[in-house]
Each structure stands twice: as C-alpha cells, then as structure tokens.
Amino acid sequence: MGSSFVKGHRPGRVPRAVRSEQLLELADRLFAERGFAGASMDELARRAGVSKPVIYDHFGSKDQLFTTCVRRAGEALADQVATAVRKESEPRARLRAGSIAYFQFLQARLRAWAALFAEESRDARFAAEASRIRRRQSDLMISLIAETSGMAPDHGGRLRLEAMTLAIAGAYESLSLWWHEHPGVSPEQLTDWLLDLIWPGLEELTTRLAAAPDGARREEQAHHPA
C-alpha cells in the first residue's frame, strides 16, 4: 500500500518530498477509514513501512498530519466541485452538479469529515481549516451566481450574498454530518432534498439583485455607511 510513491527508491534513500507524499496518501485513507481518534500512528507506520519517528519528523504530530490532510482534501474538493459546475450552463443544473460532486467527494471520507468538525472546537488549527472550507464553498457559490445573473463582482449586494452563501455552506456541512449516520442515502438524493429547500430562496435573491443593483447597493450602504 502506497508503494507506488517509493517504487524505484532503495530503503533509506527515499527523497523527503516523495516520502511525505506517500505518508499523506496513506494518512488520507487511514483517517477516512477510522476518523481522527481511531487512526493510529502505529498503523500508519506499518502501512508505510517506516518507523513512527519518520512520521513525526515529517509532520510533527498527529494533529498536524490531520490538518495537512484536511487542507489537501479541501483543495481537491473545491477543484472537483468547480469542474462539475463548469460543465453545466443553466443555474439550477450548475448548483445541482456542484452539490452532487460535493457529496460524492465526501462519500469515501465521511468519518474523517465528521472528525474534522468534531475536533473544530478543540483545536484552533482544525477550526481554521473548517472555516477555510466554508469560505471556499461560499466564494464558489458567489462566483456561480455572478456568472449566471450578470452581477458584477463589486455589486452592492455582495455582502448579502456572502452572508447567505455562508449560511448555505453551513447547511451542506450539517447535512454531511447527518449523512455520516445515514450512509445509505445517495449523493443525488441528498442533493435533491437540499435543493428543494434552498433553491427557491436563492433564485429569488439572485433575480432581485440582478434586476435592482442600485437598490441592493443602497441596502448594503444602509447597513455599512461610509
């Protein structure tokens, strides 16, 4: 397991970057299988064919290793969702495609994902990674809305959009945690349930902002006067 990363290198001669990549790949699988608490460095060392000190030399601690894995997963998740969204042109279809991609990505990582948000209140680094994932989802949704509505990036309603999309990102997160307890539900079914809830309000908000930019700008200025 993970031997493809070190294939061709003699024992004790594996370049540091190659070893780090191998350990991260194996750690991703281990955290996905067992969550944060259930994953042990002894097991990771066994799978990698190294001693525990090698792991700590690369990542410092189990917490730091988990944080690094989460950061990588968050970046990969954003890429997968963005790719799915760009394949569609109609607004609701784009949101549905991105939502399915989101849940499909998490499907094999539910235990690790649940562990991230369970650990969020315990460690500031975990909280920072969770916040970064939420912010990335929000930014992607704002970009999607701007593209489909013709709204300029500096539109006066961006503040409101930011608040609403962060709330929606929280809904995705909560549903993902619920899914951890009900893994038999498909990504497509989760998506359809969620879109039935959020799409009517999001569509109305998008239409309103696109049709009345001056009013939206005045609304934001009323809440945040210069």
> In this predicted model, which residue has the larger pLDDT, 212 or 135?
135
Please give the structure tokens belonging to residue 123: 């460690």
112 and 22 within one domain: no
Termini Cα distance of the chain? 59
Query: Would you say residue 89 has pLDDT above 90?
Result: no
The whole-number average pLDDT for the span 38-64 is 94
pLDDT band at 1 (very low <50, low <70, confident <90, very high): very low
Query: Would you say residue 200 has pLDDT above 80?
Result: yes
Task: List, for residues 5-29, the tens digit of each pLDDT value.
Answer: 555 555 556 888 999 999 999 999 8
Task: List, for residues 104-159, the tens digit of each pLDDT value.
Answer: 999 888 877 777 777 766 667 778 888 888 888 888 888 877 776 666 655 566 78
71 and 55 within one domain: no
CATH assignment of the domain containing 21 = 1.10.10.60
Give the pLDDT confidence score for residue 4 in this predicted structure: 54
90 and 39 within one domain: no
Q: Which of 22, 37, 59 finishes a domain?
A: 59
195 and 170 within one domain: yes
Range of the domain at 113: 66-223
Phi-psi region of 60 (alpha: psi -120 to 50; beta: other; left: phi over 0): left
Q: Which of 43, 59, 75 finishes a domain?
A: 59
> In this predicted model, which residue has the larger pLDDT, 220 or 134?
134
109 and 194 within one domain: yes
78 and 20 within one domain: no
93 and 54 within one domain: no
Which secondary-structure segment (H or E) carries 143? helix 124-149
124 and 49 within one domain: no
218 and 168 within one domain: yes
How far is 180 from 195, CA to CA, in rounded Å? 19
3-class secondary structure, 123: coil
Name, in order, each residue with C-beta under 8 angstroms of 160's C-beta and a sequence gap of 6 or more: 205, 209, 216, 219, 220
How far is 193 from 210, CA to CA, in rounded Å? 26
The whole-number average pLDDT for the span 20-48 is 91
130 and 86 within one domain: yes
181 and 93 within one domain: yes
Give the chain's domain count. 2
Rank 114-128, 190-204, 210-224 by mean pLDDT and report only the highest.
Answer: 190-204
Tell me the residue type at 101: A
Q: Which of 13, 34, 59 finishes a domain?
A: 59
Tell me the residue type at 15: P
Give the pLDDT confidence score for residue 2 in this predicted structure: 47
The whole-number average pLDDT for the span 194-206 is 88
Q: Dump the DSSP string for 183-222.
A: TTS-HHHHHHHHHHHHHHHHHHHHHHHHH-HHHHHHHHHH
CATH assignment of the domain containing 162 = 1.10.357.10
19 and 86 within one domain: no
Give the pLDDT confidence score for residue 111 in this predicted structure: 79
